[in-house]
Amino acid sequence: MNEPQSKSALTRRRLLTASAGAAAAIGAAGLPVLQTGAPALGDKKLTVEPLIPHQNRGIILYSVRDRIAAAPDESGVPYGFERVLSRLAEVGYKEIEFAGYNQHTSILGRQITPAEIRKILDDNGLVANGTHTQINPATFQQQLDIAEELGMKHIGTGSDPTGSAYQSDWDAAADVWNELGRQAKERGIKLYTHNHDIAYSFLLDAGPLDANGKPTRSSGVRRLEYFFAKTDPKYVFFEMDIYWAHVAKFKHKTYTNSAGQVKTDIFDPILTVARRTKRFPLFHAKDGDKAPEQANGYVMTPLGEGDINFQQFFEVIGEQDYHHANWEQDTAPGGTANPGQSMNFAALSYTNMSDLTIYR
């Protein structure tokens, strides 16, 4: 397969200066800031280290779902878990986040089992760092069994705990998640939820009420930030999708308070994580080109090919060894016209993830 070349210029000068704006914001918030300016070295030696440690570089298989689900074909592109995971390991990925456990039944004449997937992981030196599955009390123990079989330390979902705009529904969701998180912790696993932009929109939690007695205005509290406070930090964790967080910054800027006044509040993905960085063990490193004419304000691209500053993001939030970055691009599959596109984008994105470095 011919792999596309990166158009991003991750120059050493760019890497040194990328964090200046966020560093100022973090400092103003009274949070610790890594030093990113040109140092007065004296007798000290300046060293460069990976910003995302190689063992923490991952991919969610949703990005290559077309090749996981593909039947054997003549394209020469890997298909099914065994071939796709082998190729991802060759590229350099060390961690896998799952988005289902099925492949095309024609590969084995039946469905693959979690035990067989675990062997493929082990044979390729890969670690399962999480999954997007259904978080449901009725099936949660079964999902924990699969997570243990695959060696996961995290279990999660690609959906919000609730799609509601109302505080009472988030309260109820917090009760469920606190209990399920406790069950997961008993088995050495962290429960997490993944966000889309709507999770960072504003609660409807202020009057006047509508005909059903529901609030129609907001106090200015964002849905998921309310959930942060209602859930136990020992039991409930988060996976920020960095792309969707930037979409939230673009889309969810204003709310109407109880007096009917329109208020502006700009969402900041970096500050949201930096204030509670240990509650975010996982991230979706998903990039996008700015497109203010589009409803979301961005169009997805391979990692490092868009306008989102991952250097700034990961450097300022700190705790590099704790955080796991999973590349995702919803639009990576190329269909029948370009069956190799998602795997090529995976390789390009890994290269750009590896180019993120920090100077000490």
How many domains, in total, are found in the chain?
1
Give tens-digit pLDDT for 192-248. Answer: 999 999 999 999 999 899 999 999 999 999 999 999 999 999 999 999 999 999 999
pLDDT at 157 over 50: yes
Give the contacts of 116 (CB within 8 A, at least 6 positions apart): 81
90 or 34, which is more confident? 90
Q: 30 in a domain, yes or no?
A: no
170 touches 137 (CB < 8 A): no
pLDDT value of residue 215: 97
Q: Assess if residue 198 is contained within a domain.
A: yes
Inside any domain, residue 25: no
Does any domain span residue 18? no
9 assigned to some structural domain: no
The CA distance from 34 to 139, in Å, is 43
pLDDT band, very low/low/confident/very high, at 4 (cuts 50, 70, 90):
low
CATH of the domain at 91: 3.20.20.150
Per-residue pLDDT tens digits for 277-309? 999 999 999 999 999 999 999 999 999 999 999
Cβ-contact 117, 83 below 8 angstroms: no
Q: Is residue 33 part of a domain?
A: no
Q: Could you tell me if residue 290 is inside a domain?
A: yes
pLDDT in tens, 122-147: 999 999 999 999 999 999 999 999 99
- CA torsion sign for 5, 325, 356, 291 is positive
- Find out whether 271 and 29 touch, Cβ atoms under 8 Å: yes
What was the pLDDT predicted at 41?
Answer: 53
pLDDT at 45 over 50: yes
263, part of any domain = yes
**pTM (predicted TM-score):** 0.90
d(C-alpha 5, C-alpha 341), whole Å: 13
The share of the chain scoring above pLDDT 90, in percent, equals 86
Which pair of tokens denotes residue 257? 């308070």
Range of the domain at 232: 47-359
